[in-house]
């Protein structure tokens, strides 16, 4: 099976709309037809499966697509130029109000804190007996200072995040 997970193919909005219904409020795609090769799937069923525990993927004519990119194509009639960000960081929430165009940098800015984070706050790490605030911007790590508490360090991070990333700043 081919994969077009992060790039456009010859699939058009018109072809997509013939095969699926997309509900922009719920973000759910349903079949408008019964696929020939999948006897368990029928018209009206919800399309897609969760890939790697992260994104919803829909297979069309043997090619896999991210559902959020298909939602963009379905509604706006063309493939997104760059990335699509899930505003609430829930990669399974493909409602139209949750999707917005993003660059690599703004998409990363909206990411939640890494699982390896031990401070409990994005942009904050323990540094001896103090807390260091830092932020990454345009692939450069920026030092924001040392603070007595992790809350103060996080406040410095949030201030800089709002300045650099605007609406994409994520706590």
- C-alpha atoms less than 13 angstroms from C-alpha of 109 in its C-beta half-sphere: 24
Domain 2-102 fold: Homing Intron 3 (I-Ppo) Encoded Endonuclease; Chain A (3.90.75)
Q: Which two tokens stand for residue 132?
A: 């260091």
Residue 19 is given by DSSP the state H
List per-block mean pLDDT (blocks of 10 residues) for the chain, which spans 171 residues: 57 96 98 75 91 90 94 96 92 96 82 80 89 85 91 90 79 66
- The answer to whether the Cα torsion of 9, 14, 17, 23 is positive or negative is positive
Give the residue extent of every domain in the chain. Answer: 2-102, 112-168
| DSSP assigned state of 35 | -
Domain 112-168 bears CATH identifier 1.10.760.10? no
CA-to-CA distance for 30 and 42, rounded, in angstroms?
9
Instruction: In whole angstroms, give the CA distance from residue 23 to residue 96.
Output: 9
Instruction: Map tokens 């992260």 to a residue.
Output: 54
Which residue do the tokens 């804190």 mark? Answer: 113
* pLDDT number for residue 2: 46
């Amino acid at each position: 099976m081919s994969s077009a997970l992060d790039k456009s193919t010859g699939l058009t909005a018109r072809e997509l709309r013939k095969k699926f219904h997309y509900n922009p409020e719920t973000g759910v795609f349903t079949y408008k037809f019964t696929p020939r090769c999948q006897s368990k799937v029928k018209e009206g069923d919800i399309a897609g499966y969760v890939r790697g525990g992260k994104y919803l993927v829909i297979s069309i004519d043997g090619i896999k697509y991210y559902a959020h990119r298909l939602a963009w194509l379905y509604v706006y009639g063309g493939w997104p130029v760059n990335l699509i960000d899930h505003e609430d960081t829930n990669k399974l929430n493909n409602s139209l109000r949750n999707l917005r165009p993003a660059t690599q940098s703004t998409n990363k800015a909206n990411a939640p804190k890494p699982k390896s984070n031990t401070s409990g706050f994005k942009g904050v790490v323990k540094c001896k007996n103090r807390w260091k605030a830092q932020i990454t911007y345009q692939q450069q790590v920026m030092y924001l200072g040392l603070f007595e508490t992790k809350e103060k360090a996080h406040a410095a991070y949030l201030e800089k995040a709002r300045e650099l990333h605007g609406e994409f700043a994520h706590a």
